[in-house]
């Protein structure tokens, strides 16, 4: 009977080890399953982009303010414009006066004036008293019936155009047909004419007479007053508006050199 007891003892001795292995198997299986599940499960996290130090900025984009082109816009403080220019020229005032009183020749040398026609003259002096003057720049132009005032004693010549000066413009129809270039479809008032009024005044002031040393010298003053009829025209003409008087008096000086060269 002794061998049998030994066998039972051996069997009992090995039983805990077997139980341990049996208990360990589910634990290992669970760990293995957990490892497999972790490996096979798709990741939902997006990889972080590496930072390169670049900053993202946002710029606000705005449309241009079209209200400045509208005829009733009040962007400008005053619709009335006054431009002046002065030049001392080495000519006799009598010769200068002869040129500035020849209104019919204005379109031959004055910029922004594309046509000039005298329609009436003083029967005693022969000086012009009325004229058609066409003013234009680029696609815009307007013809005025202008009242011309020549004062030989004061050495002044003045042309007044526009309804505010008592002279109606003749250019409304011309603007509609040839000058506005279809702008009225976009901007109200484009066909209403360029100016409410336009006046130019030339004044001669003798500085030294012809008999003095250095020859004659005369101061020429030019004053241009006007008001645009619409803000659209003011915007289109803004690029040259401030240069008008200076360019005109330079053109007059060039004209005087031509006249002197012809011996007139």
| SS3 readout for 127-155 | CEEEEEEEEEECCEEEEEEEEEEEECCCC
User: Are the CB atoms for 92 and 260 separated by under 8 Å?
Assistant: no
Q: What radius of gyration do the chain's Cα atoms show?
A: 47
The CA distance from 177 to 171, in Å, is: 10
Rounded alpha-carbon distances, angstroms, from residue 164 to 3, 110, 198: 144, 24, 9
Q: Name the nearest CA neighbour of 230 among 43, 79, 12.
A: 79
Q: Which residue has the tokens 């002279």?
A: 167
pLDDT band at 193 (very low <50, low <70, confident <90, very high): low
Backbone φ and ψ of 96, nearest 5°: -65, -40
For the stretch 112-161, pLDDT in tens is 889 999 999 999 999 999 999 998 777 777 888 999 999 999 999 999 98
For the stretch 207-224, pLDDT in tens is 988 767 778 999 999 999
The CA distance from 128 to 211, in Å, is: 31
pTM of the model: 0.60
């Amino acid at each position: 009977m002794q061998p049998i007891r030994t066998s039972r003892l051996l069997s009992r001795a090995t039983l805990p080890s077997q139980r341990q292995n049996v208990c360990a198997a589910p634990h290992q299986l669970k760990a293995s399953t957990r490892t497999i599940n972790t490996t096979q499960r798709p990741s939902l996290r997006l990889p972080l982009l590496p930072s390169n130090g670049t900053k993202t900025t946002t710029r606000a984009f705005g449309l241009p303010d079209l209200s400045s082109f509208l005829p009733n816009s009040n962007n400008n403080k005053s619709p009335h414009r006054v431009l002046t220019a002065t030049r001392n020229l080495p000519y006799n005032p009598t010769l200068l006066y002869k040129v500035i009183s020849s209104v019919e020749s204005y379109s031959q040398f004055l910029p922004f004036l594309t046509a000039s026609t005298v329609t009436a003259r003083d029967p005693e002096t022969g000086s012009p008293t009325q004229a058609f003057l066409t003013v234009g720049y680029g696609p815009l132009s307007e013809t005025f019936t202008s009242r011309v005032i020549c004062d030989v004693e004061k050495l002044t010549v003045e042309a007044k155009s526009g309804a505010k000066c008592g002279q109606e413009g003749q250019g409304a129809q011309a603007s509609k047909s040839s000058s506005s270039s279809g702008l009225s479809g976009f901007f109200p008032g484009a066909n209403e004419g360029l100016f409410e009024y336009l006046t130019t005044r030339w004044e001669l002031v003798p500085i030294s007479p012809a008999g003095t040393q250095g020859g004659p010298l005369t101061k020429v003053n030019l004053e241009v007053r006007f008001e645009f009829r619409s803000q659209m025209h003011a915007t289109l003409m803004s690029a040259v508006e401030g240069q008008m008087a200076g360019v005109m008096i330079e053109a007059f000086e060039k004209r005087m050199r031509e006249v002197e060269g012809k011996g007139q």
